[in-house]
Amino acid sequence: MVVGLVAHGTFSLLGEWQRRKTFRELVAEAPTGTVVRQEDDLRGRSMTVTLGSGEPQLRAVVEDQG
């Protein structure tokens, strides 16, 4: 049982790390004015980033999936 919990935690952390790495690479290569929307999970959470002339604007959006 402990091995299963450790394995689940390890895979969750690796998955989150890969998701964030992919997002950083996508934003780094995107031209100014690009809008990026990333779906988070089954709870309906998402993140929208608009790249402009200054710092990227981060805005978290929670949508009810019904």
Closest CA to 51 of 20, 30, 26: 30
pLDDT beyond 90 at 34: no
**14-18, 25-29, 60-64 — which is least confidently predicted?**
60-64
Distance of alpha carbon 35 from alpha carbon 48, whole angstroms: 7
pLDDT at 54: 58
